[in-house]
A and B are shown apart, each in its own frame.
Chain A
Amino acid sequence: MNHEAIKELLYKMADDQLILGHRNSEWTGFGPLLEEDIAFSSMAQDKIGHSLALYTILHELGEQDPDTIAFTRNADQFHNTVFTELPNAEYDFSLIRHFLYDTSEALRFEILSQSSFEPLAQLAIKVRGELRYHTMHANTWIKQLGSATEESISKLQKSLEYALPYALGLFEPSLYESKLINEKVFEGEKALEEKWKKKVEEVIAQTQLQLPNWKTLTPHYGGRIGKHSEHLQPLLDEMSEVLRIDPTAEW
């Protein structure tokens, strides 16, 4: 089995989870409702837990230990999409990102529950059950706010249009697509993207939001190969602050 290909897949998944988990945690204490505060904090805890589990598999494949991987790399060594590092902005953008991202994440783990790479398949079977709560949460709010008032609909519509090209960056093809597909590790980004579009269309159709024609959108690629926005490095600095001040701290 091709370990370089598997590592690339694990890194991008883990980094997405870690970075978006950190963004979600920034809602702690600032949610528009107490319930949403709790929801985003819980989802943050789940995502950071998933990233740790993925970094642990990487460690078993010979990479450094999870804390070193998570807290000592610079921005250009991260493989998350630019989508996950964008600042939270207003709640409507965070909600749209949560919906678009978690839909892809749930489908990715669903596919990976069949992976020929056993450690990832085992983890995926576990994670996909947890993610049903995340997608349920996202779908409930998108359906509610996407059909509520003129203001909520127009805000979400604007965020949706802004977010979509970044969201398509989630499916940036890697150098290893055919290896992963041939070795039955993963169906590939293209297949995932198609499933994701169908699911997104299905939920948006139950709202008053409009999806633009996919063909008019240009995906925002680059994150997978370390090309990030100016927003990532400050996030990493904040995340690793405790470790840099006291590398032996327990927390």
Chain B
Amino acid sequence: MIPEAVTIEKIYQWLEEVKDPEIPVLSLVDLGVITNVFIEEKVKIEMTPTFVGCPAIDYMKNDIIDTLRKHGQEAEVEVTFRKPWSSDLISEKGKIALKKYGLAPPPDRKLFTDLEILENAECPRCNQTNTELKNPFGPTLCRAIYYCNDCKEAFEQFKPV
């Protein structure tokens, strides 16, 4: 049974409380991995991983179920690739949160067509692009490592994909 007051907006509001386990300032909604919410006989939520091999997906799924349960709402969560994730799905609010956290947000995917020229990222400390790509692979699947020639320090970028 769905109590009358439960709306899709309400569900999204509750989902704001569920954070990316690796980036606790970013909600799953802002990360863009919640691809659909619908209310039929049950509340159903569709989600999709940032990277196919993301080890946190089961954790996130259970976190969604637990959080909604705290609000007295049972939900079913399906992990699907029907609407594949891309870094463009991170919200503007999410990008600001990433930067505050010290992670360079991903650039718009339209800005590059060839990854081999993806050399410059904006440093989250000084906002300059005098930077170089050190490693397209970082501590988690979704992060790359850059070096800022002005700050003389390394930083991580949330990879465009």
B115 touches A49 (CB 8 A): no
A35 touches B134 (CB 8 A): yes
Contact residues, B79-93 vs A (CB, 8 A): 80-82, 84-86
Q: Complex: how many Å from CA A53 to CA B57?
A: 12
B138 touches A129 (CB 8 A): no
Q: Complex: how many Å from CA A140 to CA B86?
A: 24
| Across-interface contacts of A122 in B (CB, < 8 A) | 80-82, 84
Interface status of B8 (Cβ within 8 A of chain A): no
A50 touches B116 (CB 8 A): no
Proximity string of chain B (136-160) to chain A, C-beta cutoff 8 Å, 1 when within and 0 when not: 1111010011000000000000010
Known: A45-B53, A49-B52. A38 touches B84 (CB 8 A): no
Interface status of A187 (Cβ within 8 A of chain B): no
A45 touches B161 (CB 8 A): no
B141 touches A45 (CB 8 A): yes
| Across-interface contacts of A97 in B (CB, < 8 A) | none
Mostly, the A contact residues are: helix
A42 touches B141 (CB 8 A): yes
Interface status of B21 (Cβ within 8 A of chain A): no
Q: Complex: how many Å from CA A119 to CA B136?
A: 28
Interface size of A by CB at 8 A reads 28
Known: A35-B135, A38-B135, A126-B85. A136 touches B52 (CB 8 A): no
Interface status of A137 (Cβ within 8 A of chain B): yes
Proximity string of chain A (18-51) to chain B, C-beta cutoff 8 Å, 1 when within and 0 when not: 0000000000000000010011011101111110
Interface status of B54 (Cβ within 8 A of chain A): yes
On chain B, which size bracket covers the interface? 20 to 34
Which residue of B is nearest A50, CB measured? B52
Which residue of A is nearest B134, CB measured? A35
A133 contact from B52, B84, B137, Cβ within 8 A: B137
| Across-interface contacts of B54 in A (CB, < 8 A) | 49
| Across-interface contacts of B139 in A (CB, < 8 A) | 38
Which residue of B is nearest A121, CB measured? B81
Proximity string of chain A (118-154) to chain B, C-beta cutoff 8 Å, 1 when within and 0 when not: 0100110111011011001101100000000000000
A46 touches B82 (CB 8 A): no
| Across-interface contacts of A125 in B (CB, < 8 A) | 81, 84
Which residue of A is nearest B137, CB measured? A42
Interface status of B101 (Cβ within 8 A of chain A): no
Which one of B54, B55, B118, B161 has the highest number of Cβ atoms from chain A below 10 Å of its Cβ?
A: B161
A129 touches B86 (CB 8 A): yes
| Across-interface contacts of A136 in B (CB, < 8 A) | 115-116, 118, 136
| Across-interface contacts of B81 in A (CB, < 8 A) | 53, 119, 122-123, 125-126
Q: How far is the CB of B143 from chain A (nearest CB, A)?
A: 9
A-B contacts, 21 listed (Cβ < 8 Å): A35-B134, A35-B145, A38-B137, A39-B135, A41-B137, A42-B137, A42-B141, A46-B53, A46-B141, A48-B53, A50-B53, A119-B81, A122-B80, A126-B84, A129-B84, A130-B52, A132-B115, A132-B161, A133-B115, A136-B118, A140-B116
Q: What are the 10 closest A-B residue pairs judged by CB atoms, nearest first? A: A49-B53, A42-B137, A126-B84, A122-B81, A39-B137, A49-B52, A129-B161, A46-B53, A136-B115, A133-B136
Measured CB to CB, the residues of B under 8 A from A are 48, 51-55, 80-82, 84-86, 115-116, 118, 134-139, 141, 144-145, 159, 161
